[in-house]
Amino acid sequence: MSLELFSLAGKTALVTGSARGLGFAIARGLGKAGARIILNGTDAGRTAAAAETLVAEGLDASPLAFNVVDDAAVLAAFAALDAEGRTVDILVNNAGIQFRKPMLELDPADWRRVVDTNLTSAFLIGREAARRMIARGTGGKIINIGSLMSEVARPTVAPYTAAKGGIKLLTRSMASEWAEHGIQSNAIGPGYMATDMNEALMNDPKFDSFVKGRTPTRRWGRPDELVGAAVFLASSASDYVNGQIIYVDGGMLAVL
């Protein structure tokens, strides 16, 4: 079989929240599949350094720092891309934060911060990307990053869980409105992955043994294990796939 179907050559991918963690691993994977990569983060220095790392590996990567929850900043970022004649063919809405606190003690400002970053950002950036994909008539690919928490909850992470549940159906909303324009909108639901965001959980022996006991694979996932699903959803191989969420979770959601 030819792997041409999975090639991202000639495509440009914007990955939000990609200065580190899952976003960085996905960006690197899309780059290795041939895409030009636009890395995003809120910290300009860290985003530029991440781009330099990929360039040093021979990939085509450039930084575009902006805050994904700031409507004006999102519009300005896309205006800057327009001015340079750069198009986004593949958008990965990955930016996300976690904040762990029982709901009874949760400050509404923290609720909003988490929901804005994990969910509203995907609407804002997805809309700007889709507007341009539709205007160009080229279509494109939108990949939203969900979570196990797109399906199930656990105590202390209510805003994150509500946002990730929202990601699943925002993905379907995007599919319902934009599929006819040649845009495929899908999601990836990572399981428990070894990232900075989960460091406190990995360092907690009780949580670590919960993850290993509960995941059929008996281990945490590696960020680069998301690349296969990301390349598939970013490539022509998924041209008739729309509104789906692919769980890359070592089998955790499959079992009790």
Instruction: Give the binding site for ligand GCO (CB under 6 A).
Output: 98, 100, 147-149, 157, 190-192, 197-198, 201
Smallest distance, Å, CB 187 to ligand GCO?
Answer: 12
User: Which of 64, 114 has the CB closer to ligand GCO?
Assistant: 114
Smallest distance, Å, CB 83 to ligand GCO?
Answer: 36
- Give the CA distances from residue 109 to residues 14, 17, 118, 152, in Å, rounded to whole numbers and listed in that order: 28, 21, 14, 23
Query: Residue 140 contacts by C-beta under 8 Å, 6 or more apart in sequence?
Result: 88, 89, 90, 91, 129, 130, 133, 182, 183, 184
Burial category of 73 from C-beta neighbours within 10 Å (exposed 0-12, middle 13-18, buried 19 and up)? middle
CA distance 237 to 184: 11
Is 192 marked active-site?
Answer: no
Smallest distance, Å, CB 209 to ligand GCO?
Answer: 15
Give me the DSSP letters along 215-234: STT-SPBPGGGGHHHHHHHH
Catalytic residue among 160, 192, 240, 247: 160
The residue among 201, 230, 252, 190 whose CA lies nearest residue 11 is 230
Give the torsion through C-alpha atoms of 125, 129, 132, 138, to 10 deg.
-170
The residue among 122, 136, 140 whose CA lies nearest residue 82 is 136
Smallest distance, Å, CB 179 to ligand GCO?
Answer: 26
Which residues are designated catalytic? 160
